[in-house]
Chains A and B, each alone.
Chain A
Amino acid sequence: NAGVTQTPKFQVLKTGQSMTLQCAQDMNHNSMYWYRQDPGMGLRLIYYSASEGTTDKGEVPNGYNVSRLNKREFSLRLESAAPSQTSVYFCASSSGGGSGNTIYFGEGSWLTVV
């Protein structure tokens, strides 16, 4: 049982380049999330998908787009990377709804924009 798998693990981009971070979960979860983590800032929610076919903005959505491809997959796209987007990105999933569910995280993707 792989849980939440995200790729790539490491990536270096030049300013202005685009890229897509891929995420897949095998727990049949309804909800999926993308967070970024910067030193001293904790985790900030970029976008989330409450269920297949829906996506919503989180705290810091500017500069990003997402696609909930199917129930398993939720991708994050940087259309024109900027140095301010240098961060560690975490994909996560949960069964969603109800009165609280555990969030399961991937191992992170380290992105550097130069």
Chain B
Amino acid sequence: SQQGEEDPQALSIQEGENATMNCSYKTSINNLQWYRQNSGRGLVHLILIRSNEREKHSGRLRVTLDTSKKSSSLLITASRAADTASYFCATGSVSGTYKYIFGTGTRLKVLA
């Protein structure tokens, strides 16, 4: 079964609004990463947060990690039509970060 589960599965917002998506996972992790996938393309890395970090920022992205709840959230502020894509979380296990398990993704649509 999938390690990560994103919520919601789909999200539709107006340009300029904030978008929040969540990721829950099942086992202890070393790090958690967020990726973006445009339709028909490969995944692109957005941000990595380690298990000893609680929050991280990168431009319009803000990621939080709550290891006690085994969950993470990705916030995209002031969204743009170009942010329309699918977003995935990926977890690296404590036993070694060679194997990354991805969630099912959140499909974000930003309406102009």
Contacts and interface: CB of A to CB of B under 8 A. Distances in A.
B20 interface: no
> Which range holds the interface residue count of chain B?
20 to 34
Interface of B: 2, 4, 6, 30-31, 33, 35, 40-45, 48, 50, 88, 90, 92, 96-105
Contacts of A56: 98-99
A70 interface: no
Contacts, number: 73
Interface stretch (A12-20, A61-69, A75-83, A103-111): A103-111
B100 A45 contact: yes
B45 A100 contact: no
A94 B97 CA distance: 10
Contact of A106 (B42, B50, B92): B42
Contacts of A44: 2, 102
